[in-house]
Chain A
Amino acid sequence: MSDHADDGLTGPSSLDRRDFLKWGAVAGGSVLAAGGVGAGLPLLKGPRLPWDIDDIGLPPSGPVPLTGGEWIPAPCWHNCGGQRCLLSAYVVEGRVLAVKSDDTHPDSPETPQMRACARGRAQQGQVFGPDRLRYPMKRRNWEPGGGRRELRGEDEWERISWDEALDLTAAELERIMAEHGNESVLELGSTLRRLFTALGGAVTNWGSTSWGTWYHTGPMIGLGDGLSSTSHNDRLDLENCELIVLWGGNPAWSAQGNSMYYYLQARRAGAKFLFIDPYYNDSAMTLADEWVPVRPGTDHALALGMAYALLDEDDPERNPLVDWDFLNRCTVGFDPDHMPEGADPADNVRDYILGRRDGVPKTPEWAARICGVSAPRIRRLARRIARTRRTALLTAWAPARTHDSDSWPQMFLTLGCMTGHIGQQGRMTGVSCWERTADGGPFLVGAGGTGVPPLRGVPRRTTARINNSELWSAILEGEYTAGDGDRRPIDLRAIVHDGASALNQVSGLMKGIEAHRRAEFVLTLNFVYNPNARFSDIVLPVTTQWERHSYFKGNRDHLIWARQVVEPQYEARDDAWIAAELGRRMGIDFADMLPVSPEQQTFNRLAGAWVVGPDGRGRERLVTITKDDIREMGVEGQPQEGRITLPEFREKGIYLVPRRPGDGLGHIAFESFRREPERHPLSTRSGRFELHCQRMAEFVRDVGFSRIDPIPVYRPPAEGYEETFDDFERGIKGPHPLQLITLHYRRRTHSVFDNVGWLRESFPQEFIMSSVDAEARDLATGDVVLIRSRHGSVLRPLFVTERMMPGVVALGEGAWADVDFRTGLDRGGATNVLNGARPTGQGHQGWNTCAVEVTRYRGPQRLPPDWRQPPRQPKGAV
């Protein structure tokens, strides 16, 4: 029982009942969930009860009558890390009454139903939610040129017509581009990309986000990045594993849908699971036979310690731990005899590990001090992985989402190569996360192209691209890094949020707010009043995928075709229409912007859809299309033969490739390469796995933030464990002694879904702390704590658990910032308030390296549970 949560004493007292009713009234035809009829005498029941909050995204309370409507496939469209699940919406008179999961075919482990997670099942709360953007709006104190810019984020709003909104937007963008050039507009999404291309381009952003350093390092050293290409075997082969190492991953949270089900099949087949992670997370809870807690950002040091132990204890005769055959045939850079062309033989990995290069042997004892795993345990860990023949050495992106970690993927690969767990049944090394969790290999089915021709022949007036970690400083300081020693001036006047959620989702949020208040013009296209919209001047409401013609999604062995579920809500419009209308006002031909109708695009994707042939060879057409189908769709095309008829595909919304063991559709990553590296070289410079990768070192140098070695040298990361100390050598802790990790949180997919009542209730955006650290600070679950980093401060309710490693704290990423401008504190729990914008290495986001301190909050701010707080809605207009 916790005091701050006293619902008898606190509550959303700043809002009265009328406000709630007002929200209900503007919902237009929605039915209020709460009612007073028969509810006794509310006055005598004390203060407001939770159910007094009308979540108008929901149908009326009580069993949902499933009559008089139809089920329409309504899969998620989000960047969720899930398996691309199928959902169906029950639609009655344009309203969705309920959402159910895939039941289009019988469920089996080999060909499972694509079951969705809690977020997908709560989708209706998002499409029909109370904070849906309804009409075009203008900030009250905005005028061309900016008006009172400092009021962004706090100003009131005025509802305006589409014509006025489009006219104002086009005129202001034209004015700024005319006065300051194309290089004064920063486009931070992509849905207006075609418009800006037609206008000669705008400044865009770059830099790896979720991938961490896997994005660039992975492919350069010969492994996949984990999304566009994979390095692990397919899900049915996981059942051949004896040991599955999951290093820094929590698919139960970050890759929802079937991925944990796939891992559970492997467990049932006898695989043991070893988790290496600071948090005994829900995946570890379900699967782990062994858990090795490790400090964030120190995985590289741990792996070095293990590598040392392998070299130290390896005896090719009596105790073979290192797969020298694999190292010699399939890699370059491990020892002086196998260096890539032109490399200094002294720059080899073995001698670095043994300390012959820098005088510091990377012994388990050396590693223990950094990573927090005892030396004997590091040795046991190394032995276990090396001695278990069929081992999957899998990692997620999280350990690479740390500063200065450009060499970590290479170190991970080194471990995989030393143990030889690559390219054979039940043996693999690589990234297994996000939607490719537990299922590697090329796709077996896919959709065709849209047939929309790219815009050609428009001269580019800017090529400037700004790293994510310099976006806000570029606006505030007028300078950005364009390369090694190449700082360039830039004069950014307009910010365009066409999709994405850059303000909330890029490091350095507090600076971002400042930058938004500096700009002359901020435009947002979105369907909810998220932080982007809140800090804008003009907001244009867009449709969700449920309101659009159709879209395609898929994964390795299924393809989803989703058609329109409901009519556009309120005055929302498709981004493409908005782009075309803006273009028309700016002198761009309408036909250039919308060259292919949505119907024809859908048809093109269906007609071009393919499925792998029997035994995994060749491709066949997927969809059977008749003349009638073409006539009915009102498009141009030819009939064709395929595996599934168009009406059946439309009805079911999904096509799955049936799977069974030995069906020829399985995948062993690098199998042919391992057998014959000369005949099947990798796409690296040397054609082998590059444990010495000159290209990577050059790439990082050219980016211009820092330097790395071509071999996996451990570099203490900015704001890593070492920086929690004032004096690391003498063990004196500094003012930010705790390490924060930012988790993919189950309430959201990044910032999406943060507004849905059901999910806010189920997942309270708790701040997670180890019981050891809580005891030391006299804190308990339910306390409101103040979390301070070098970059900002956040208030959150504390959740204490023994499952977190001491010294480490965690917060889910993606919560919408709710900064109180008097105190400067963020009440929403937005991790990018804490994560500073510190570009390192390849310019990736280092979200899992952040040093913080946590204290009990004693100030005046109240913090009722998120789900009892009012929905985020624009002041003055809804």
Chain B
Amino acid sequence: MSLFHELPLVVFTLAVQLAVGSCLALLVVRRMLWAGGEAAAADGMAGGADRYRDGAWAAWSHRPLLLVGVATAVGLAASLLHLGAPLNAVWALTNLGSSWLSREILAGLVFFGLWAVTFQLNRRPAAATRARRVLAPALPPALALAGLLLVWSVAQVYMLPARPVWNSWLTPASFLLTTLLLGTVAMAAYLEARPLPDPVGGESAAPGGARPGLVLLAVGLAAIVAQAAATLYHPVTRELAASATGSALTAGRLALLLVAGLLIMGLLVRPALDPGSAAAARGRGRWIVAMLLLLLASEAVGRMLFYAAGAVDPF
């Protein structure tokens, strides 16, 4: 079994999925921020809240967006390392008509481009131009959509009839689940480190009555459970069952998912018992970061096994 042969692709797919997942999570957070804002607007504070909200969002989301950009850049750079003749990557968009790899690269470039625009606008929230006002609300959903298309096209690359071990609907499903669980947990961790500002400038930490972190963790937990199920049924797992190393690593990966899932459940239950002090929030933050590392490890192992099982001679 060649666990490390496709390391650049393991990095590429995981980094891109982390980036896209973070965009999706950001969209949820933003939606909740805005929902809180609308409640405030109903109280007659509309205009000022809008401006405040934009500024607060821009400041809060700066680092997550930076993470998205860095992860995407790392991913794209790693994908170049996979190439034997990276200079010839300039031809990579010439076969969009039939090659999912061409499409994947296009989707990656579009995503990265949209991110660049988003990030750029976000850096100067005060320069409220007309264009920006039109673009600002549209960009996060557009970025998330481009991200989904990217994850989709990455998955489609592996939907090859010649590779029955990959050629299953569980492949795009598990790629999407990796996206969700990494993104949600990463953003939940950030939320603990830097709570969302009150939509109307007050101190309330729970706009709309629901703490966004808990919502993200709940989604993440669901993704973890689904991912575990997908792992059990994926043809890759069946293929590796005969190999002691393969089945041991699969079991290890499932164990990591299990531990992460249990931690999340603990966190979901605890806030009800312990309405957070600053110290408690810091503690939670550490737990969530630990969880994120567990999940990264789990998905990295899973991805290595994915390539080890599929990138073999057909007979």
Indicate whether A and B are direct neighbours in the complex (CB within 8 Å).
Answer: yes
List residues of A whose CB falls within 8 A of some B CB: 1-3, 6-9, 38-41, 44-47, 780
Name the residue of chain A whose CB is nearest to the CB of B85. Answer: A38
- The answer to whether B83 touches A40 (Cβ under 8 A) is yes
Q: Is B269 an interface residue (CB 8 A)?
A: no
Q: How far apart sit A1 and B246, CA to CA, in the bound complex (Å)?
A: 9
Q: Is B1 an interface residue (CB 8 A)?
A: yes
List residues of B whose CB falls within 8 A of some A CB: 1-5, 7-8, 81-86, 239-240, 242-246, 308-309, 312
Q: Can you list 27 contacts pairing A with B, beta carbon distance less than 8 Å? A: A1-B1, A1-B239, A1-B240, A1-B242, A1-B246, A1-B312, A2-B243, A6-B3, A6-B245, A7-B2, A8-B1, A8-B2, A8-B3, A8-B5, A8-B308, A40-B81, A40-B83, A41-B81, A44-B7, A45-B4, A45-B5, A45-B7, A46-B2, A46-B4, A46-B5, A46-B7, A47-B4
Name the residue of chain B whose CB is nearest to the CB of A8. Answer: B3
Q: Which residue of the partner chain, among B82, B84, B246, contacts A39 with CB atoms under 8 Å?
A: B84
Closest Cβ–Cβ distance, residue A833 to chain B (whole Å): 28
Q: How far apart sit A558 and B303, CA to CA, in the bound complex (Å)?
A: 60
Apart from A7-B1, A8-B5, A9-B3: 13 A-B pairs, beta carbons within 8 A? A1-B242, A1-B243, A2-B243, A3-B244, A8-B3, A38-B85, A40-B84, A41-B81, A44-B7, A44-B81, A45-B4, A45-B8, A46-B3
Q: Which residue of the partner chain, among B82, B83, B84, B245, contacts A9 with CB atoms under 8 Å?
A: B245
Closest Cβ–Cβ distance, residue B113 to chain A (whole Å): 26
- The answer to whether B4 touches A40 (Cβ under 8 A) is no
- The answer to whether A40 touches B82 (Cβ under 8 A) is yes
Q: How far apart sit A47 and B4, CA to CA, in the bound complex (Å)?
A: 8
Closest Cβ–Cβ distance, residue B52 to chain A (whole Å): 46
Residues of A contacting B81 in the complex (Cβ-Cβ under 8 angstroms) = 40-41, 44
Closest Cβ–Cβ distance, residue A133 to chain B (whole Å): 36
Residues A780 and B7 in contact in the complex (CB < 8 Å), given A1-B312, A40-B81, A40-B83? no
Q: How far apart sit A3 and B248, CA to CA, in the bound complex (Å)?
A: 11
Residues A6 and B1 in contact in the complex (CB < 8 Å), given A1-B240, A1-B242, A1-B243? yes
Residues of B contacting A44 in the complex (Cβ-Cβ under 8 angstroms) = 7-8, 81
Residues of A contacting B8 in the complex (Cβ-Cβ under 8 angstroms) = 44-45
Q: How far apart sit A7 and B85, CA to CA, in the bound complex (Å)?
A: 24
Closest Cβ–Cβ distance, residue A831 to chain B (whole Å): 29
- The answer to whether A3 touches B2 (Cβ under 8 A) is no
Residues of A contacting B309 in the complex (Cβ-Cβ under 8 angstroms) = 1
Q: How far apart sit A283 and B7, CA to CA, in the bound complex (Å)?
A: 44
Name the residue of chain B whose CB is nearest to the CB of A1. Answer: B243
Closest Cβ–Cβ distance, residue A168 to chain B (whole Å): 50
Residues of B contacting A9 in the complex (Cβ-Cβ under 8 angstroms) = 1, 3, 245
Residues A8 and B83 in contact in the complex (CB < 8 Å), given A1-B246, A3-B244, A780-B242? no
- The answer to whether B4 touches A8 (Cβ under 8 A) is yes
Closest Cβ–Cβ distance, residue B242 to chain A (whole Å): 6
Q: Which residue of the partner chain, among B86, B243, B308, contacts A40 with CB atoms under 8 Å?
A: B86
Closest Cβ–Cβ distance, residue B76 to chain A (whole Å): 15
Name the residue of chain B whose CB is nearest to the CB of A6. Answer: B1
Residues of A contacting B242 in the complex (Cβ-Cβ under 8 angstroms) = 1, 780
Closest Cβ–Cβ distance, residue B86 to chain A (whole Å): 7
Q: How far apart sit A780 and B308, CA to CA, in the bound complex (Å)?
A: 20
Name the residue of chain A whose CB is nearest to the CB of B312. Answer: A1
Name the residue of chain A whose CB is nearest to the CB of B239. Answer: A1
Residues of A contacting B245 in the complex (Cβ-Cβ under 8 angstroms) = 3, 6, 9
Name the residue of chain B whose CB is nearest to the CB of A44. Answer: B81
Q: How far apart sit A7 and B2, CA to CA, in the bound complex (Å)?
A: 6
Q: How far apart sit A47 and B86, CA to CA, in the bound complex (Å)?
A: 21
Pairs of residues from A and B, 10 with the lowest C-beta to C-beta distance, nearest first: A46-B4, A8-B3, A1-B243, A8-B2, A3-B244, A6-B1, A8-B4, A3-B245, A44-B81, A40-B84
Name the residue of chain B whose CB is nearest to the CB of A5. Answer: B1
- The answer to whether B1 touches A38 (Cβ under 8 A) is no
